[in-house]
Structure 1
Amino acid sequence: MGDKRMQSFGFATALAVSIAALPAPVLAQQASTNAGTVAPLPVGTCINLGNTLEPETEGAWGGAPARKADFERIAAAGFETVRIPVRWHNKASSEAPYTIDNAWMDRVQQIVDWALASDLNVILNSHHFDPIHETPLAVADWHGGVWRQIAERFAGYPEDTLWFELENEPHKNFDHSNLLETLAPSFEAVRALHPTRAVIIGGENWSGIDSLATLPLFDDPNVHPTFHYYDPFPYTHQGASWTAPDIPPVGRTFPTHEDAAQLAKDVLAVEAYKARTGKVPFMGEVGAYDAHISLDDRVAYHRTITEAFAPTGIGMCVWAYANTFPFYDLEEERWQPGLLDALGLSEPE
């Protein structure tokens, strides 16, 4: 399982050596503190309801329609938060007033209600709003019109447990040069009805960890940064057809010594961001593709990433509940052996 050299060396030792090898000025910068630190979102251990509401239709990518029991099961396993990715652009008119299909809005609300009833925090996310990545500013009003209706539907919901993430993984033409201008109509629509509800923003290039270095945010204490972590990508996405034409070849192992060194730097990058901004980001997605990575290796990957980032205090949302990178097996009605333990959770009896 994994790289044989790394197994004999010991990952914890390799990580410590990698950190020690960084230049002293870098370490000093990471160690600095910011007295104005904003309280982080209490994301804790979190799971994505993946491949459910973000395909073109619910469950179209091999997932199953969500059920109330799913959220009861997630809560019983010890997760504190569920992230619910939702595709909105194909359920809403592209012309003002950008009306969302009412049956779709009802369904999303039902699922949010189920999650909240199970005492889970909920991150409600706009996911795969495809046109915004092609022509960001031209789509900004449409995106804002959609968020106005979401804000209206969830007016009066508890602020401490329901949070809004404006858009998933900005990429292509949607980058830091136009991020805030593009999201301004959505942010203003939310703030008109939810002046202090947590709003979450991720950065360019699919919200990879490097995006934190230049991530712009609205000047608002209740805006929270997020990033995604599928590193090293050639390992986590090996053989993934949706990455074509540059599909990572199958057979990549983890962790190598180079992986350990990069992971150490990534942990320090989070500490640097906290020290520089006073805000604590959270990891909105992390996972490894089950089609070409064994369950034992997925368990080892999640354990490694969880333990590496644990000292930073950030919340972490694994991808995903029950379809593609799954943690739960719907057919066998059980959690995949070892994955909960890798996150520090106990499998329910």
Structure 2
Amino acid sequence: MLHAKRKKVVSLLLAGVLAVLSCSCGNSSKEESSKEEADSNPRTEMRDDMTTSQIVEEMGLGINLGNTLEACGDWIDSSGGVNSYETAWGSPTITEDMIAGYAAAGFDSVRIPVAWSNLMAEDYTIAPELLDRVETVAQYVLDNGMYAVVNLHWDNGWIAGFSTDYDTCMEKYTRIWEQVTERFADYGDHLILESMNEEGCFDDLWNRYSGSDDSKAEAYGIVNRINQQFVDLVRDSRGNNPRRHLLIAGYATDVDLTCDEAFQMPQDEAGRCAVSVHYYTPPTFCILEEDADWGKAKTMWGSPRDQRILENDMDKLKSRFLDNGVPVIIGEYGCFTKNKTEETVRTFLTAVAQAAYTKGMCPMLWDVTGVFYDRNNCRMLDSQLEQDLQEIAAAPRDGVHNVSGN
């Protein structure tokens, strides 16, 4: 009887031990599973084996969330908070469904232009509300499997002051990026930071039509110093930032001016920088809606000469950057649609996308509310354009350009 009880007790003890071990193993399995999920989460995953060239390739075709978080103006009532700015230039409040619609349309990356000065104290402290909102929109992008590019946009034009008051402007620039890098420090490699928009040019010092060699060197030198400060700031911050892939704005983000040898990519021990240019060529087609003193508005695009200029521009970028291991992102391309047929607009957009994409670049369409994408109904307005872009993204492209670790 005692033996039987002892046997029963031992059996119960063994059962308890096995149960504990079973629970322990189960927890271990869950912990490993949770870790694997965290490691593959676009919000947090940082892949050390991915070069910037490979990241740019994965970014596929991109689109801009234009005229939204970068909207600014003294007439906007700041008492309404972030939403007053977000909707000031005509955009509805951004929702996750809108962003999901980008992914459904075939885009793999979204650029989020931001005016950080909109809600900023005199000591350059950005309102937490604005940081929160930008982070939320970036999360929408990441959670839909796309890459997010967060930048410093025109921001009421204060960057132009670098040529006359460098130290004050650099103090503001530094404070902005200290706060932005801190906010996004723990995000993975699907979150890319961009040094500035196309304001990195100083026509008061030099432009392509006038100015001495010395003034040109000074103007380019300011842009080069700003970009170097940007890289140094990010690399010296915490979390994943020392390894983050960065986007460096070219001189005026202009193809010819950025391909000029006076423009220099910043030194980066991590070797994780791409260059950004914008493509609005020819401006008489892309920008002008009516004749101006500097040009006659062009309503058609697609002649052999038009195609040749586009290919030559892409070849310049390939020779200057891709062939030297620097990935290229066309941070903006597009055109105004007034006085142009839908077919002509489509021809231009698909030609630029294809010319850039097939060479391994990431072209990012500049879009604002109701032009190419309907933010209210979360879909592309031109279904043929959507199909054409998807076919471009599915076509073969040049191999990844990977030199010097980029």
TM-score surpassing 0.5? Answer: yes
Task: Choose the corresponding residue for 2:161, options 121, 134, 144.
Answer: 134
Supply the distance in 1 between the matched residues of 2:298 and 2:224 (Cα, whole angstroms).
Answer: 40
Q: Is residue 2:129 matched to residue 1:103? A: yes
| Distance verdict in 2 for CA 1:185–1:46, change over 3 Å | same
CA contact (8 A) 2:246 2:274 kept: yes
Q: Is residue 2:196 matched to residue 1:190? A: no
Q: Is residue 2:189 matched to residue 1:155? A: no
Query: By percentage of residues, which structure has more helix?
Result: 2
Task: Choose the corresponding residue for 2:221, options 159, 164, 177.
Answer: 177
Q: Is residue 2:175 matched to residue 1:145? A: yes
**1:230 match:** 280
CA contact (8 A) 1:209 1:227 kept: no
Structure 1 gap ranges (5+): 1-36
| Distance verdict in 2 for CA 1:239–1:321, change over 3 Å | closer
Supply the distance in 2 between the matched residues of 1:66 and 1:307 (Cα, whole angstroms).
Answer: 29
Supply the distance in 1 between the matched residues of 2:320 and 2:127 (Cα, whole angstroms).
Answer: 39
Supply the distance in 2 between the matched residues of 1:207 and 1:340 (Cα, whole angstroms).
Answer: 27
* Structure-to-structure mapping, 1:89-128, within 5 angstroms: 89-95=117-123, 98-128=124-154
Supply the distance in 1 between the matched residues of 2:293 and 2:141 (Cα, whole angstroms).
Answer: 37
Higher normalized contact order (CA 8 Å, seq sep 6+, divided by chain length): 1
Q: Secondary structure at the match of 1:39?
A: helix
Deviation string for 1:282-325 (max 9, x for gaps)? Answer: 111110112332322111111222233333111110111535xx
When normalised by structure 2's length, the TM-score is 0.68
* Alpha-carbon distance, 1:187 to partner: 2.8
* Alpha-carbon distance, 1:89 to partner: 2.4
Supply the distance in 2 between the matched residues of 1:78 and 1:292 (Cα, whole angstroms).
Answer: 28
Could you say which structure has the larger radius of gyration? 2
CA contact (8 A) 2:69 2:115 kept: yes
Supply the distance in 2 between the matched residues of 1:49 and 1:314 (Cα, whole angstroms).
Answer: 19
| Letter paired with 1:320 | D
Q: Secondary structure at the match of 2:66?
A: coil
Q: Secondary structure at the match of 2:243?
A: coil
Supply the distance in 2 between the matched residues of 1:181 and 1:301 (Cα, whole angstroms).
Answer: 35
| Letter paired with 2:59 | V
Supply the distance in 2 between the matched residues of 1:341 and 1:120 (Cα, whole angstroms).
Answer: 19
* Structure-to-structure mapping, 1:39-54, within 5 angstroms: 39-40=53-54, 41=56, 42-54=58-70
| Distance verdict in 2 for CA 1:60–1:247, change over 3 Å | farther
When normalised by structure 1's length, the TM-score is 0.79
| Distance verdict in 2 for CA 1:249–1:275, change over 3 Å | closer
**1:284 match:** 331
**2:42 match:** none
| Distance verdict in 2 for CA 1:247–1:114, change over 3 Å | farther
**1:59 match:** 87
| Distance verdict in 2 for CA 1:70–1:247, change over 3 Å | farther
Paired residue total: 302
Deviation string for 1:37-72 (max 9, x for gaps)? Answer: 963423211110011111111132222221111111
